Amino acid sequence: MAVTLEQARRVGYTCLKALLRFAFMVANNLVAIPSYVLYLIVLQPLRILDSKSFWYIEGVLFKWLLAMVASWGWWAGYTVVEWGDDVKAVSEDEAMVLVNHQATGDVCTLMMCLQDKGTVVRQMMWLMDHIFKYTNFGIVSLIHGDFFIRQGRTHRDQQLVLLKDHLEKYYRSRNRKWIVLFPEGGFLRKRRETSQAFAKKNNLPFLKHVTLPRLGATQVILKTLVAPQENGTPSGGDTVRKESKSKGLQWVIDTTIAYPKAEPIDIQTWILGYRQPTVTHVHYRIFPVKDVPAEPEALTNWLYQRFIEKEDLLTHFYETGAFPPPRGQTKAISREMTLSNLWLVAIQSFAFLSGGMWYCLFQYLYRCLF
């Protein structure tokens, strides 16, 4: 089939745009990540004298780095519409965020849609596959205190012990409030067949849009971060009440990410921007941690139920283009998530100015020493 001149121009423009975006992303990483590391090296005396202030500054820098990643998608037209509970209402409380996992773009989507949720981004801890430790962002996550978990049966028990130790050592000492994990333990396309076979063998529901979650990390987080008197007891009142301010994990935020036509965005698309502008839909449902059972079998059933509900939510979304209304209501309300272009430009400018400053400083020191 012959290619028309207009099609050739369109392909050429897409390739040129992708090349320029990639060059910008590389430059962005080359100035922003070293600057983050160098600022924190210089601030090490403050860490000794006033640890709280040090981690506050680190959190602000961390949020800005995530905003830079969000800007790559935002400027390509990859936006987010939010549904369900308003998580801003619990942004100052401690919460565990459970997310379905379809592609590498899920993390980028969360980096974007959590930017306008108060202090959440700078005070959150991520649980991610250990392979991310070896990416360009790995050094940032290591310094921030995220946890890299190794998958597989042979590592499972050891990893859960390491996770418990990590939470006890870093979560509250660095004033973390939200912890994000993907309980499915891998991408949908990689785990779906195995999950469906397990479901059939154990008389569990057949799921197409999510997989059955794994219990381990969720159980460790609840045992470690929830105040003992809160877990496994009945709760009452509105899910998003602000009266509950006792120490410990307060909420579980069940987060469901849906892409139009079930076509997820991966990190390559996020960076290169060759896909047409896309609206990703994110649904939140907030549960008081008091409603989450503590016993392993009951917790497993509770966690399975959350992913069965995710299956229903996604089925409805793929059929209608919208999430269903909450129970007892006739209409679902969506909220378009927005980012300030001026703010994103200011952060990017700060990164490149910082890179220039560090370069000039090292040039000056080199001349002085040699």
Q: Is residue 236 part of a domain?
A: no
Q: How far apart are CA 112 and CA 73, in angstroms?
A: 8
* pLDDT for residue 4 is more than 50: yes
Q: Is the pLDDT of residue 238 over 50?
A: no
Q: Is the dihedral of CA 350, 355, 357, 358 positive or negative?
A: positive
pLDDT tens, position by position, 187-217: 998 989 999 999 999 999 999 999 999 999 9
253: how many CB neighbours lie within 10 A of its CB?
Answer: 19
Q: Confirm whether 146 is domain-assigned.
A: yes
Would the pTM of this model clear 0.75, i.e. be above it?
A: yes
pLDDT confidence tier of residue 229, bands split at 50, 70 and 90: low
In this predicted model, what pLDDT tens digit does every residue of 99-128 receive, in sequence order?
Answer: 999 999 999 999 999 999 988 999 999 998
Q: Does 131 score more than 70 pLDDT?
A: yes
In a domain, 105, yes or no: yes
Q: Contact 284/255 with Cβ under 8 angstroms?
A: yes
Positive/negative CA dihedral, 240, 245, 250, 253? positive
Domain range for 155: 5-227+247-369
Question: Dihedral of the CA atoms 48, 53, 59, 62 (nearest 10)?
Answer: -60
- Of the pLDDT bands very low, low, confident and very high (cuts 50, 70, 90), residue 233 is very low
Q: Beta 124-129 vs 278-288: how paired, if at all?
A: unpaired
Residue matched to tokens 């250990």 = 130
Q: Is residue 239, in this structure, part of any structural domain at all?
A: no
Q: Does residue 237 lie in a domain region?
A: no
For residue 242, is it within any domain?
Answer: no
* Any domain includes 108: yes
Give the whole-angstrom CA distance, residue 181 versus residue 306: 14
Q: Which two tokens stand for residue 235?
A: 């709760």
How many domains, in total, are found in the chain? Answer: 1
Distances (CA, A) of 198 to 151, 192, 201, 246, 315: 18, 10, 5, 39, 21
Residue 331's pLDDT is what? 85
What average pLDDT is seen over the chain? Answer: 90
pLDDT for 245 = 46
* pLDDT above 60 (res 369): yes
Residue 287: φ, ψ to 5°: -120, 135
The residue among 131 and 162 whose pLDDT is bigger is 162
Adjacent-strand bridge partners of 214: none
238, part of any domain: no
The answer on pLDDT for 295 being more than 50 is yes
| pLDDT, greater one: 335 or 132 | 335
